[in-house]
Amino acid sequence: MERVDARGKTCPLPVIETKKVLESMTEGTVEVLVDNAIAVQNLCKMAEQKKMKAVSEKQSEDCYVVTITVEAGSQTQPDAAPVCMPDGRSAGTVVALTAETMGTGDDVLGKILMKGFVYALTEQDQLPETIVLYNGGAKLSVEGAETLADLKLMEAQGVEILTCGTCLNHYGLSEKLAVGSVTNMYRIAEVLSKAGKVIRP
C-alpha cells in the first residue's frame, strides 16, 4: 500500500500527487490523507474517471482518508520518459492571465488559486500554445513571482510567453521580466483574435 499525505496542500496538488503515484502502480491501494471535503470529492472523481474504486472516511474535522484501489490490468504502465520532451502544446489555445489573482472576493485566496492554476497548466496532457499576461497578470512573469518556475517550465516545452510592455512599465517592472518576452497590445490583440480557444481564469 502506498500513502500520500496531502494535508495542508491546496487544489490541485492532492489530485496531481495521487495521480503520479497511481500511474506508477500495476495493482494495490493508495491511501491519501487530506484535510477538507472538497479534496475528497476531487480525488473520488479522479478515481472514477480512471475506473478505479475509491472509499473515503472522515477521521476528524481536519483529516479525511481516501483509499483508491488499483486492480491488476486496470491500467497500463506509463511510457518510459522520452529522451527529448515532445511538443505537447494544444495548437490554437491561448491562456490570458489578466490579474495576479483568480476570481473575486479575497485577494489572498485569489493569489493562491492563481498559483495553483498556473501549476495545474503544467500538468495537463496538452499545454497551451501561447500565454499572454497583461494588466495585473504582468506581475506573474517577473522576478520573485511564485508562478515563475511553472511559466519557465512551460516555456522550455515550447509555450510562447508574452507579457504586455505597457503593463510592466505601469507597475515599474520593466527591468524585472524573467520569462518569455515583452509584447505590445497589437500583438496581444492578434494572438487573441486568431486563437481557436481562449482561456481566461
Proportion of the chain above pLDDT 70, given as a percent: 91
Which tens digits make up the pLDDT trace of 41-84? 889 888 888 889 999 998 888 899 999 998 876 654 443 333 34
Q: What's the distance, CA 104 to chain centroid?
A: 19
Q: CA-to-CA distance for 5 and 46, rounded, in angstroms?
A: 17
- pLDDT over 70 at 108, yes or no: yes
Percent of the chain with pLDDT over 90: 63
Q: Which domains does the chain show, CATH number per domain?
A: 2-70 (3.30.110.40), 89-199 (3.40.1260.10)
CA–CA gap between residue 24 and residue 67 (Å, rounded): 16
Q: Which residues pair with 163 in a beta bridge?
A: 133, 182
- The mean pLDDT value of the chain amounts to 88
Distance (Å, whole) CA 181 – CA 52: 43
pLDDT in tens, 152-189: 989 888 899 999 999 999 999 999 999 999 999 999 99
Q: What is the pLDDT of residue 134?
A: 98
Range among 23-37, 47-61, 103-117, 146-160 rated most confident: 103-117
Q: Are the C-beta atoms of 183 and 80 separated by less than 8 Å?
A: no
- Is 136 a residue whose pLDDT tops 50? yes
Q: What is the mean pLDDT of residues 115-135?
A: 94
pTM exceeds 0.75 for this model: no
| Beta-carbon contacts of residue 141 (< 8 Å; ≥ 6 apart) | 133, 147, 148, 151, 161, 163, 177, 178, 179, 180
Cα-based distances in Å from 74 to 3, 139, 147: 20, 44, 35
Show the DSSP H helices in 35-172 as ranges. 37-49, 107-122, 148-156, 165-170
d(CA 160, CA 129): 6
**pLDDT for 76:** 44
67: β partners: 31, 55
pLDDT of residue 11: 75
From residue 62, alpha-carbon distances to 17, 54, 96, 128, 156 in Å are 19, 19, 35, 36, 38
What is the maximal distance between C-alpha atoms in the chain? Answer: 57
